[in-house]
Structure 1
Amino acid sequence: MKMKAVNRHVIAGAKIIGFLLLFFAAFSYGMFQGGFVSWFLFFSILPFALYALFILFYPVQKIQVMREIAKTDVSEGETVRMKMTVRLPFRSPLFFLTLLDELPEKLAKRGRTPYKTLLFAFFKKELAVQYAIPNITRGEYVFPAVRVYVADWFGFVEKSRRIPCEDSFLVYPAVVDMVYRPFENYFDQGMAAVRDQVQRDSTMAVQLRDYQPGDRFSWIHWKATARRNELMTKEFEQRQTNDIMIVLDCSPSGTFDLAVKFTASLIQAVIKKGGQAGLYACEKERHYFPVQGGVFHKQAMFYFLAKVEDESAIPWHKQIENDPVIFLQNINKIFVTTALREEDIEAIGKNVSPRGAKLLVCVKGNDEQISPGDTELMNLAKSRGIFVKILREENFANAFGGGMDR
């Protein structure tokens, strides 16, 4: 980096020296040669020389830039609009300047090019320009800085400044209007969707267990709590319920955004149905949202889904095997992944309580085909009491429509 900076300064100095030599050569030619042509050549160069001298002493460090983002919370696929305002230190014959808005790293990785424009600033003190980023993808985007460039007409004298100007916005995953129907596990008939909502029967306590985050206050068994000196919760008979725990696979994948989109759509559909939803995911670190309902809980999960990346360093089956928090409650569990793997199926079949239905959703792109290997793994999952559903984006809306066996 230091060598590049030194090279830039050397090149800039060489350009200035070259321009001065050209100017003095034209002056000397006029002095010694005389006549109309020689002096016409000198006075033709003079305005450009004076403008280059003006650029050389122009206080570019006093230029201010402000960025305004029209909307800081947007949904995937929308257009984000920006307004850039440039304030110059004073009115001057500065003909033009170049403005470049540095891209967030995530946008640069996805092939976007930074916004760059030429602004005409002749005797103006404030300039404004607007631009838009169409079809934005899910994630958190932080715009770090803006670069401003001024130069003379021929590029002999160039000056620039990087102005820190940090602004950010959050893009939530797109949501498909999905109709969720609760399901239950029939061991002799496979899995079926249940259209009628049947909630937890809170009049029939079948056993006691330790208190878990997300349990209701009314479920606490006070007599047992007093005897054991620790919170104990009544475990009620569960028939069919809208409550689910979603386990998201954050392994690196080209279709991870589709898995996030399905997860967000499912959470919204469950809460809209009157049920409760929980979420477990492990990327760089573990994230757990207990099974709850309500707008704030949904907003917390959506905020996480907007930022989550497929950067898990721990294999998914290891997470399922080693983290008991996934299996704390005997409710239906939906495992969302982008690829069927034998070790994942074995881990799910071995660790999940048989009292909760097990659904493994594999999300694929619209152009991806179901391979013979996928078919074999689906049969393996069925033998382990796990139902597998392969979904493409075009089928999200009807993911729980009719029979579940696909």
Structure 2
Amino acid sequence: MVQEVKQRLARLAVRPSIRFLLVAILLAIAVFTGMATGFDLFYRLTYILVVTLIVSYLWVQLMHRSLRVEVTGRPRLARVGDEILETVTMHNNAALPKYAIEVSDLADIPGHRGGVAVSISSLDHAMWTMHIQTRTRGMYHLGPIRVVARDLFNLFSKSSEFGERDEITVLPRVLELPGFEVPTAQLHGDSSTRQRSQSVTPHASSVRDYAPGDALSRVHWNSTARMGKLMSKEFDLGRASEIWVLVDLDRTVQAGELEESTDEYAVTMAASLVKRHISAELPVGLVAFGDERYFLPAETGLGQSDRIMQYLALAKAEGDTPLNEALADYEPLWGHNATLIVITPSPRVDWVVGLSELMRRGVRITVIQLDLESFGGIGDVAESQEEMLSRGIPQFYIRQGDNIVEQLSNRGGLNGAPTAESDRQILAGV
């Protein structure tokens, strides 16, 4: 209702431009000079300017009148890099044709600009497709559609808005990473080692005869009906191998803009790794410290993948928790059955010590470090790279503009270093 009232008020307003102010000043000078000198030339100029203003004003009113706009085909979900297509139909219900009507979508998607100019015959309509490129993940809005009519001299303009604002969630880009392998040979999928549990867990492994004291929640009714006797479910502790992805969204270590920013690179890699390991039927969990603390326990299945993608889409690089504190907060989660993949642009060294402690406890670690300086930030990652090398922490190194798929292959990026000298040292040790 409020949006409709605003749109109606907007249709009533004709806005003068800067050119109108210049014409108004010129008109005032012509009138004053004509009255002071009596020259006919100034009176004629006054008449011409007045007629121009009146005609321009009426032109805008006529061009804007009796227009109706419809929008169809707006999606609710998109992915970074997708092109959103929406069909716009403009109807001219007036007997006069419309010329050079400007039409644009007021979407708040970063990087979106521009529109089209449309001319429509009398009592006709025009239909076209608007293209909106998605460059960053997040929750955005499409619409409303703004229609602007101008006169031939651009003295006046009149605009109005049609339609509603529709939400759209832009999910992170997902890349295929066939060459990425975590540094362990102990990961398993469905055939992983399981441990029996006396408690009810999400992992039901088999059925057995009902035993006195079993709760009704343990009874497997389908098997009971088939076997003709009470059967109870047996549970285990789940898969022995879990993949955890930790994304560092601390605002103090971010740099770059739009899709060429550290947080977009980090989230793209996180989403790609989640997809890869979920597809391998491994349980995957997420930890991200951004504008909020985003946490999802390790689970399997497409539902888990969808939940993580939603979290990654909404997470903003506005966190105030350094990586070393994030590791300390969630350290109890990770045991000898966990593989932790850390994605960070942080050039600090203190978090490397925390990772060493996790490795000592049997947690398998992989670090993907972004070169902050290559994104326009301040901070040399050479010291943290050397510290990880000395402690035997597997690492990948990503610069702005790198081919992520190539860099996240064990041949292209494992133990990568930020300098040519470090690269030579690594190659010499292979």
State TM-score, norm by structure 2.
Answer: 0.65
Residue 97 of structure 1 is aligned with which of 97, 101, 104? 101
1:315 aligned onto 2:322: yes
1:390 maps to 397
1:216 maps to 203
2:7 maps to none
Residue 192 of structure 2 is aligned with which of 188, 200, 210? 200
**2:331 and 2:95 mapped to 1: Cα distance?**
67
**2:266 and 2:338 mapped to 1: Cα distance?**
21
**2:266 and 2:332 mapped to 1: Cα distance?**
22
SS at match of 1:66: strand
**1:350 and 1:155 mapped to 2: Cα distance?**
69
The residue type paired with residue 145 of structure 2 is V
The residue type paired with residue 394 of structure 1 is N
**2:26 and 2:101 mapped to 1: Cα distance?**
20
C-alpha contact (below 8 Å) 2:335/2:361 kept by paired residues: no
C-alpha contact (below 8 Å) 2:87/2:129 kept by paired residues: yes
Deviation, 1:246, is 0.8
1:264 aligned onto 2:271: yes
Give the 3 Å change call, closer, same or farther, for CA 94–175 of structure 1 in structure 2. closer
C-alpha contact (below 8 Å) 2:16/2:156 kept by paired residues: no
**2:267 and 2:388 mapped to 1: Cα distance?**
23
Deviation, 1:296, is 1.5
Residue 82 of structure 1 is aligned with which of 81, 86, 110? 86
Deviation, 1:260, is 1.4
1:327 aligned onto 2:334: yes
C-alpha contact (below 8 Å) 1:76/1:138 kept by paired residues: yes
1:224-264 residue CA offsets vs partner (Å, 9 max, x unmatched): x99xxxxxx966894xx4x3011111124232212112111
What does 1:3-402 align with in structure 2 at a 5 Å threshold? Answer: 51-52=55-56, 54-55=58-59, 58=62, 60=64, 63-69=67-73, 71-104=75-108, 106-107=109-110, 112=111, 114-134=113-133, 136-163=135-162, 165-179=164-178, 183=182, 192=184, 199-202=191-194, 215-218=202-205, 238=240, 241=241, 243-252=242-251, 253=254, 254-323=261-330, 326-327=333-334, 330-350=337-357, 354-364=361-371, 374-381=381-388, 386-391=393-398, 393-397=402-406, 399=408, 401=410
Deviation, 1:287, is 1.3
C-alpha contact (below 8 Å) 1:99/1:119 kept by paired residues: yes
| Unmatched runs of 5 consecutive residues or more in structure 1 | 1-5, 25-32, 184-190, 227-232
Deviation, 1:397, is 5.0
C-alpha contact (below 8 Å) 2:249/2:290 kept by paired residues: yes
**1:45 and 1:236 mapped to 2: Cα distance?**
83
Bigger drift between 385-394 and 144-153 goes to 385-394
C-alpha contact (below 8 Å) 1:317/1:344 kept by paired residues: yes
Give the 3 Å change call, closer, same or farther, for CA 397–289 of structure 1 in structure 2. farther
**1:211 and 1:126 mapped to 2: Cα distance?**
64
Identity %: 16
2:220 maps to none
Aligned residues: 361
SS at match of 1:275: coil
C-alpha contact (below 8 Å) 1:48/1:153 kept by paired residues: no
**2:117 and 2:26 mapped to 1: Cα distance?**
24
The residue type paired with residue 203 of structure 2 is R
1:332-361 residue CA offsets vs partner (Å, 9 max, x unmatched): 111111234212223333467713212222
Give the 3 Å change call, closer, same or farther, for CA 133–237 of structure 1 in structure 2. closer
**1:139 and 1:377 mapped to 2: Cα distance?**
31
Give the 3 Å change call, closer, same or farther, for CA 325–151 of structure 1 in structure 2. farther
C-alpha contact (below 8 Å) 2:63/2:149 kept by paired residues: no
SS at match of 1:90: coil
Give the 3 Å change call, closer, same or farther, for CA 372–211 of structure 1 in structure 2. farther
SS at match of 1:201: coil
Give the 3 Å change call, closer, same or farther, for CA 47–92 of structure 1 in structure 2. farther
C-alpha contact (below 8 Å) 2:174/2:268 kept by paired residues: yes
C-alpha contact (below 8 Å) 2:267/2:312 kept by paired residues: yes
Bigger drift between 10-19 and 260-269 goes to 10-19
The residue type paired with residue 143 of structure 1 is L
C-alpha contact (below 8 Å) 2:69/2:90 kept by paired residues: yes
C-alpha contact (below 8 Å) 2:180/2:408 kept by paired residues: no
Deviation, 1:271, is 1.8
1:283-334 residue CA offsets vs partner (Å, 9 max, x unmatched): 1111112111111111221222233332213223222223457437841111
SS at match of 1:321: helix
Give the 3 Å change call, closer, same or farther, for CA 352–217 of structure 1 in structure 2. farther
Give the 3 Å change call, closer, same or farther, for CA 10–361 of structure 1 in structure 2. closer
The residue type paired with residue 401 of structure 1 is N
**2:394 and 2:265 mapped to 1: Cα distance?**
20
1:3 maps to none
C-alpha contact (below 8 Å) 1:321/1:351 kept by paired residues: no
